[in-house]
Amino acid sequence: MSQSRLASCIPLPLDNKVLSSVVEKAKDWALMHGVGMRDKAHFSKDTIQIAPFVLLPSPFPRTEFTKAVDLQPVLNELMHKVSHDDEFLEKTLQNALEVDDFTAKLYNIWIKVREEGITQSLSLGLFRSDYLMQQPDSNRIKQVEFNTVAASFGAITSYLPTMFRYILRQLGHGELIKNMPENRALSGLCSGIIEAYDMFGVPSAVVLFVVEEVSYNICDQRFHEFEISEKRPDIMIYRKTLKEIYEEAELNDKKQLIIEGRPAAVVYYRSGYEPAQYPSQKEWDARLRVERSSAIKCPSIHYQLAGTKKVQQALAAPGALERFVAEGELRSRVRDIFTGLYSLDFDDSGERAVEMAIADAERFVLKPQREGGGNNLYGADVKEALLRMRHSRERAAYILMERILPPLISGYVVRPNAAVPPSLCDLVSELGIFGVIIGSKEKIYSNRQVGHMLRTKLADANEGGVAAGLGALDSPYLL
Ligand code: ADP
Ligand code: MG
Ligand code: MG
C-alpha cells in the first residue's frame, strides 16, 4: 500500500542557498536557547551540541491534536485508577513477572511497601501519552504507549514554537505562525512538582531529581530546575544517582528521606526506568528506601507499573475499560485511540496471537516490558522471536501490537555535525501529550493536560527516540 502524504507548511524543496543560510541560523538559535544535548561520542560537561530537530514544523491534523489534548485528563485518571487497583495490576502482570526479572523487582518493591504500610499516599504523575496517526484510517491518532516514568522533552519542546516562528519569518512566512499551538509543557510539568512540594508542607524540604550517572539529555532536565528555581526561589533541588542515594540518603524515625540533613518532599525520577540503571543491589536498595519514605514520588512505584506495555494491552482487552471508565461516551473515546493489542500468555488467545503474528509478521510490533526506546522487534525479527519463543514461557514478557502506519511528511532534519544543506527526506511524526496528576487512592487533587511534544523520524526507521539518536524534535503545524 502506498503511504499518503500530508502537505508541508510551505512548498518544498527550498533553494539550496536559502536552505543553507536558514539552517545556520536555526542551529545557532537552537544552541543559544538550549535545544541541545551532550555529545555521546565526545562527552564533556563543558559543551552541549544541538539536539536533532526538523527545520520546519510538521503538519498535524488539528482535530486529532485537539482530540489528544482533550483526552489527556481522562487518561491520567485512568492510569491513576489502574495503579491503585491491586487486583488488576497483579492479574495483569502475573505471567510477565515470572519471566521478566526487572518488572518483578519493581513489583516486589510495591508488594513490600504495601505490606509495611504506605507512608505517603500521594503520587505525582508527570505523564506523556504518545500517538501516531493511522494513515489507512483517515490519519486518526492511535496510542503508541503511555509513559508514566521519566517522560522527557517537555522542557526543550516548549521552546520550539518560538524557534519555528523565527525560522518561518526568515523564510518569509511569518503569517503561518498562527497555526502553531503554544506549548507550556515546561511550566505545566514544573507546576506539578511545585504543587506536590507544597502538599508535602515542610518548609526546609528539598526536591530530589534521580539522575543517570551521565545525563546526556541535560538541557531538558536542567530547564526544569531553572523553571522551579525561578518560580519558587525557596525550593532547593538536588540531583543524585541511585547509587548516591544509597550512600547518602537515610530514613529518619518519621520515614522522611533525609539528604544532606534535609527531608525530600518530592522525588522525581529521570532515571530508574531500565535495568542498566540498576547495575547492583545498591540501586535496588536505594529505590526501596525512596519508596518506603514519606517523599511524594514521581512516579510512585505503582504508577510506574501501570505504565507497562502489559497494562496497556490488558486495558484494550474486552471488559477492562469498563472497570475504570464509568461513562459510556468517554469510554468509547478512549477505546477509539487503541489499536490491536494482544497478550502472548499461554492460553487460547495467546496461541492465536502467536500464530497470527508468525503468519504476517510485518503487521506487528513485539514489545517487552521496557522503556527508553530500542527494545521492540519489527518485521522479520517478530517472526524469528516468536518461532523461538513459541513454546517458552518467556513469550509472556512481551505483548504484540498492530503496527501503525503513519502518513508521510516531507522535511529536513538538522543534526549536529551533519552536512549542510540537509537533503529533503520522507519523515513520520509521533505526538506526545503531557499530563499532570496528583492524588491518592481516595482522591485526585489535580489532573490536567499541560502541553505536548512532537518528534519526527525518517519514515523507514522503526523507532524515533531523540535521546536514542534516531528522532528529531518537532512541533505541530496544525492543518
Ligand atoms: P518505549 O517505551 O521504548 O518508547 P514505544 O512503545 O514508545 O516504547 O516504542 C518505541 C518506538 O517504536 C515508538 O516511538 C514508535 O516509533 C515505534 N512504535 C512503537 N509501537 C509502534 C506501533 N504499534 N506501530 C508503529 N511504530 C511503533
Ligand atoms: Mg515509553
Ligand atoms: Mg515511546
Residues with CB under 5 A from ligand 2 (ion): 145, 147, 371
The contacts found for 253-260 with CB under 8 angstroms, 24 or more apart, are 254/294, 255/119, 255/292, 255/293, 255/294, 256/202, 256/293, 256/294, 256/295, 257/208, 257/289, 257/290, 257/293, 257/294, 257/295, 259/206, 259/208
Phi and psi torsions of 74, nearest 5°? -65, -45
Say if ligand 1 is within 6 A of residue 191 CB.
no
What distance in Å separates the CA atoms of residue 102 and residue 87, rounded to the nearest whole number? 20
Bridge-partner residues for 136, per DSSP?
none
CB atoms within 10 A of CB 144: 20
CA nearest 431: which of 461, 398, 464, 396? 464
Residue in the block written with cell 496510542: 143
57: pLDDT strictly greater than 60: yes
Task: Tell me the pairing of strands 206-210 and 262-269.
Answer: parallel
Q: Please tell me the distance between residue 367's alpha carbon and the centre of ligand 3 in angstroms.
A: 11
Output the DSSP codes for 53-108. Answer: EESSPEEE-HHHHHHHHHHHHHHHHHHHHHHT-HHHHHHHHHHHHHH-HHHHHHHH
Give the ipTM of the model, two decimals please. 0.99
Say if ligand 1 is within 6 A of residue 406 CB.
no
Rounded to whole angstroms, the maximal C-alpha distance in the chain is 68
Say if ligand 1 is within 6 A of residue 379 CB.
no
What distance in Å separates the CA atoms of residue 271 and residue 243, rounded to the nearest whole number? 11
What is the Cβ-side half-sphere exposure of residue 125, based on CA atoms within 13 angstroms?
Answer: 37
Output the DSSP codes for 212-272. Answer: -SS-SSHHHHHHHHHHHHHH-TT--EEEE-HHHHHHH-EE-TT--EEETTEEEEEEEESS-
Q: Please tell me the distance between residue 104's alpha carbon and the centre of ligand 2 in angstroms.
A: 18
Residue type, 320: A
Q: For ligand 1, atom 3, which residue shows the shortest CA distance?
A: 373
Give the pLDDT score at 469.
72
Identified catalytic residue from 367, 411, 435, 451: 367
What distance in Å separates the CA atoms of residue 124 and residue 241, rounded to the nearest whole number? 20
Ligand nearest to the CA of 132: 1
1: pLDDT strictly greater than 70: no
Q: Which atom of ligand 1 is nearest to the CA of 463?
A: 16
CB atoms within 10 A of CB 158: 26
Residue type, 80: H
Ligand nearest to the CA of 149: 2
Phi and psi torsions of 36, nearest 5°? -145, 170
User: pLDDT digit string (tens) for 328-376?
Assistant: 999 999 999 999 999 999 999 999 999 999 999 999 999 999 999 999 9
User: pLDDT digit string (tens) for 107-161?
Assistant: 999 999 999 999 999 999 999 999 999 998 899 999 999 999 999 999 999 999 9
Identified catalytic residue from 147, 183, 217, 343: 147
Q: Please tell me the distance between residue 274's alpha carbon and the centre of ligand 3 in angstroms.
A: 13
User: pLDDT digit string (tens) for 369-397?
Assistant: 999 999 999 999 999 999 999 999 999 99
User: pLDDT digit string (tens) for 423-442?
Assistant: 999 999 999 999 999 999 99
Q: Please tell me the distance between residue 294's alpha carbon and the centre of ligand 2 in angstroms.
A: 27
User: pLDDT digit string (tens) for 232-243?
Assistant: 999 999 999 999
